[in-house]
Structure 1
C-alpha cells in the first residue's frame, strides 16, 4: 500500500513547497520596511536610506529613458514564437546578472555600514533575538512533549477496530482531526509565548522590532505547514495519519519535506526580509534567488532519486485500469512524471525572477486550479469507471419481452461513458492551459466563438443521442414483435417484413443523422444532396436491373407472395426459401442446391405454403378392372391414412374428394382424387397415400397398368412361326412339352 501512495507523497510535497517557493516574490519585490508602520512612514524610511534612494532614482531614470526611447521607436512587428522564447531567455539572463551585480554592490555598501555600526549594539540585538528564538522553540517542544499522552490516547482510539466499518473510519477521522488541532494549539501557544517575550522581556516594553516580528510570522507559517505534513504522515502514532503508509515510508517523506519547508520558509520569510530591511533590497533579492535555486536543485535531486520508485508505483496502478486509454495515459505519465515535476520547479524559479510582483498570486492560483482540475477529473473518471464495470440489469418481465435489450444497453452505455470520459479529459486539459498560459477559458466560453462551439457540440450530442434512442425504440419494438413469448409466434411474412424494415430504418437513421450533423458543424450539405441526386440518377440509369430488383422485391413482400420458409416455385426453381433481402431471394431445392434469384427474374411465383394445400392423385387401373371397386379401395386407403397419428393433424378434409374417371387412356382408366391438407403438407401426405393405395389395390387384385413388352421371334419361308422354348427357373415342364425359361 505504501508503494502505491509514493506518487501521492511526491505530489503533496511538491505542492507544499510551491507556496513557500512562491513566497520569495514578497521578499524579492517588497520594500524592506516594518509591516506594522503606516504607508507614509514606510515611504519616509525608504527615502532616508541612501542606498535605497539611489537605487530608486536610478530605476526611475532608466524607466524614463526607456519610455522616451520606446515612444520614438516605430511599432515593432508581432514576434514569432521563437522570438518570444529568445526574448524571454535574454530577459531572464539579463535580470539575473543585474540582480547579482546590484547584490555585489549592495554587499560592499552593507560591509561598510557594518563596519561603521557599533559592535556591542549589534551583538546585543543578536543575543535578544537568540533568546526569542530559543524560548519559542523550547516552549513548542515542551508543549509537544506534554501533549504526547493525548496523542497516544488518540492513537489508541483511532486504532480500535470494534464496531461497524463506518464507525471505525469515523472514529479514526475524528482522532486524526483532534491530533491536528492539538498540534495547532501547541504552535499557537508557543507563538504567543514568543510574542510575549518580544513585547515585554527583550527590547523596549510594548514594542516589537522588525526581525522579531518576521521570525514569529515565519515560525507560525512553517510550523503550520509541518502540521499539515504530520496529519498526512503522522509521527504521533501508527493510525493518526490520513495516508496508510508504513513508519519507514512516512518517516522518509516527512523528514525530507520538513527540512525543505524549514529551509525555504525561514530563508524566504525571515532571512530575506531582514537583509532587505537592514542591509539592501538588491542583496535581499539576490539571497532570495540563491535560496530558491538551492531548494529547487535539492528538490530536483530528490525527484530524480525517487524516479524509479514512483514510476514503478504508477505503472502498477496502470495495470489495474480496465480502460486501455487510462492504462496508456497513466503509463505515459509514469515515464514522464519527473520531467513534469522539474519543469514545474523551473517555472517557479523563472516566474519569481521575471515577475517578482505577480509570481506569488500567479503560482498559487495556477497550482490550485491545476490540482483542483486534476482531482475533479480523476474523481469523475473513477466514478465513470465504476459505472462502466457495473452491468445494467433489467427486470425479468422486461427481459422476457425484450431478450436482447439488456445486452444492447450494456453495449451502448460503455461507449457513451467513454465519450464522456474524453470530454472530462478535454475540460481538464483546458483548465490546465487556462491556469498556466494567457488563454482565458472563462472569457472564451462567454465569447461568440466559445458559445458557438459549445452550442454545436451540445446540438451534435443531442442529435446523436436522439438517433440512438430512436434506434433503440425501433429495435426493441421489432424484437418484441419477433418474440414468440411476448407477442405470439409471428408468421414468416411478418419476420421478413420486420427484418427489411429494421435494415431500412438503420440505413435511414445513419444517412439522416450524418447529414444533420454535417449541417450542424457548418458544412453546406446542399451540394452533397445535389451530388447525391445526380449520382443516384446516374446509378439509376446504369443499374436499372438493380432498381427493378428492389422494386419487385418490395411489391412481392407487400403482396405476401413469398416468406422465409415457404416452398415455392420461382424462375423455374422449386425449393424452400431460406433468405430474402430487398433485392434477391435465396432458395434451396430438393437436392440441396442453393439458388440466389434476383427479384427481377421472378415473373411468376407458385407458393405451396398459403392457407392450405391439396394432394391431387390420378391413379390408373386396367380396362378389365371395375372402376367402382377401385374407388372403394381408394376411400379405404384414405380412411386408413386418417387413422395414422402422424398424418391425422395434417389432413383438413374428413372425406376423400373423388373426381371420378378423368380419362380413358391408351393402357389405363384414370381416376382422380384430391385430399385437402395443411399448407406445405401436401407432399408428405401424398407420398403416404400413394403407399396405402398400392397396398389396397394389390390386396383387392386390381391391376395397376404398366408398360408391356411383346417379343417377336420371326417367321419361316412358309409363313409359320416356330415355337420358342421358354422355361421358368424353379418350375417343371409346361403342358404340351413347352417349358419355361428365364428368357
Structure 2
C-alpha cells in the first residue's frame, strides 16, 4: 500500500509538472516569474502546445498513415481468413500471410512516417541497408527462425491442428508464425518453440492413428465361436463409434498368455480422437461379450499341493 501511494504521488507530481511546462504560459499572467519560467526555460523542452502548432501537417499525415495502414491490414486479414477458411494447410498459410501483413505494415508505416517528418528517401534507403546489414550479423537466429518456418510450411512437414512431438513435448499445433510455433498439450499448457529449434519432429497426424483393443478369453472358451461373434459385430462397432475412420478389423490371436488367450481388434481414427475411440471400442467389446456369455478371465494361479 505504501509503495502504491508513493507511486501515485510521483505520478501526480509528474502530471502537474507536464501541465505547468506545457500550459503555464497560458495559465499565468504575462510577465510573472512562473510565466517566464514555463515559457522560456522549461517550455523549451516540454512545449507540447507549440510542438503541435508548429507540426500540424506532419502530425496529421502521421495519423493518416497509421489509420490507412491499419484499415488496409485489417481488410487483408479479413480476406485471408475468408480465402484460407477451409483445410488445415490453408489455415497454416493464412497465419503465415497474416504475420507477413502485420510486420510488413509496421515496416512500411515507419518509412512513411519518417518521410512525413522530413527524412529524405536516400537517407531511409541507406538506413534500411544498414539495418539489414546489422540484422544479418546480429540477428542470425531471427533469420534462421524465419527461413525454418517457411521451409516447414512449404514442405508440408506439419500444419495447424496436427499433433506433433518436438523433443519431450507432445501437443497440437495451435499457431504457426514466421518466427515461432505454438503447441498445446493435453493439459492445456502451451509451449512456444522457435522454428529453428524444431528438428526431428514427429508428426502423429500425418496418417490415421491405430486404435487397438486386446481382449482376453479363457483357454476353455470355444475360440471359433468367439471369433464368429466378433466378426459378426464389427459393423455394429463401427456404427456405435463415429471416431473410427477405418475398420474395425479382427486381427486374430495376438498372444497366448499365462491365464488367457488374447485376441486383437484393430481400427484407425484421427490422432486427436484415438484415446476416446479406444475407450469406446473397449466398451462395445465388453457389451458384446456379455450379451453372448463370453467370459473375460481375470488373472488366475493354479497351485498344486504335493502329497
TM-score by length of 2: 0.62
CA distance in 2, matches of 1:548, 1:619: 50
Match of 2:95 in 1: 499
Matching residue within 600, 603, 606 for 2:203: 606
Cα gap change, 1:637 to 1:595, in 2 (>3 Å): farther
Matching residue within 132, 135, 147 for 1:551: 147
Matching residue within 448, 473, 487 for 2:72: 473
- The superposition leaves residues 518-568 of structure 1 with CA deviations (integer Å, 9 ceiling, x where unpaired) of 566137345534432432232355x4xx54444333222334443444433
Cα gap change, 1:498 to 1:685, in 2 (>3 Å): same
**Matching of residues 176-255 of structure 1 within 5 Å:** none
RMSD (Å) for aligned C-alpha atoms: 4.4
Question: Which protein is bigger by CA-based radius of gyration?
Answer: 1
Matching residue within 645, 652, 673 for 2:265: 673
Matching residue within 27, 31, 35 for 1:335: 27
Cα gap change, 1:496 to 1:329, in 2 (>3 Å): farther
Gaps of 5+ in 2: 1-18, 32-50
- The superposition leaves residues 259-287 of structure 1 with CA deviations (integer Å, 9 ceiling, x where unpaired) of xxxxxxxxxxxxxxxxxxxxxxxxxxxxx
- The superposition leaves residues 182-229 of structure 1 with CA deviations (integer Å, 9 ceiling, x where unpaired) of xxxxxxxxxxxxxxxxxxxxxxxxxxxxxxxxxxxxxxxxxxxxxxxx
- The superposition leaves residues 10-60 of structure 1 with CA deviations (integer Å, 9 ceiling, x where unpaired) of xxxxxxxxxxxxxxxxxxxxxxxxxxxxxxxxxxxxxxxxxxxxxxxxxxx
1:471–1:506 contact (8 Å) kept in structure 2: no
- Distance apart, 1:611 and its partner CA: 7.7
2:84–2:94 contact (8 Å) kept in structure 1: no
Cα gap change, 1:481 to 1:700, in 2 (>3 Å): same
SS for the counterpart of 2:173 is strand
CA distance in 2, matches of 1:665, 1:709: 15
Match of 2:43 in 1: none
2:216–2:297 contact (8 Å) kept in structure 1: yes
**Matching of residues 414-563 of structure 1 within 5 Å:** 425-426=53-54, 461=61, 465=64, 469-482=68-81, 489-515=85-111, 518=114, 521-522=119-120, 524-525=123-124, 527-539=126-138, 543=141, 547-563=143-159
1:574 aligns with 2:170: yes
2:145–2:179 contact (8 Å) kept in structure 1: yes
Match of 2:37 in 1: none
Compare the two structures and name the one with the higher strand fraction: 2
CA distance in 2, matches of 1:706, 1:602: 45
- The superposition leaves residues 398-443 of structure 1 with CA deviations (integer Å, 9 ceiling, x where unpaired) of xxxxxxxxxxxxxxxxxxxxxxxx87x4499xxxxxxxxxxxxxxx
- Distance apart, 1:603 and its partner CA: 1.2
CA distance in 1, matches of 2:286, 2:81: 45
Q: Which moved more, 1:467-476 or 1:683-692?
A: 467-476
- The superposition leaves residues 592-612 of structure 1 with CA deviations (integer Å, 9 ceiling, x where unpaired) of 54444444244133233x685
**Matching of residues 293-372 of structure 1 within 5 Å:** 335-336=27-28, 339=30
The number of residue pairs the alignment matches comes to 265
Matching residue within 254, 260, 274 for 1:682: 274
**Matching of residues 257-276 of structure 1 within 5 Å:** none
Cα gap change, 1:525 to 1:566, in 2 (>3 Å): same
SS for the counterpart of 2:225 is helix
- Distance apart, 1:497 and its partner CA: 3.2
**Matching of residues 99-118 of structure 1 within 5 Å:** none
1:697–1:703 contact (8 Å) kept in structure 2: yes
CA distance in 1, matches of 2:276, 2:266: 14
Match of 2:221 in 1: 625
- The superposition leaves residues 596-652 of structure 1 with CA deviations (integer Å, 9 ceiling, x where unpaired) of 4444244133233x68555343444444434433333334554444554xx44x444
- Distance apart, 1:693 and its partner CA: 0.9
TM-score by length of 1: 0.30
- The superposition leaves residues 561-597 of structure 1 with CA deviations (integer Å, 9 ceiling, x where unpaired) of 4344443334343333344443433333334544444
- Distance apart, 1:688 and its partner CA: 0.6
- Distance apart, 1:690 and its partner CA: 0.7
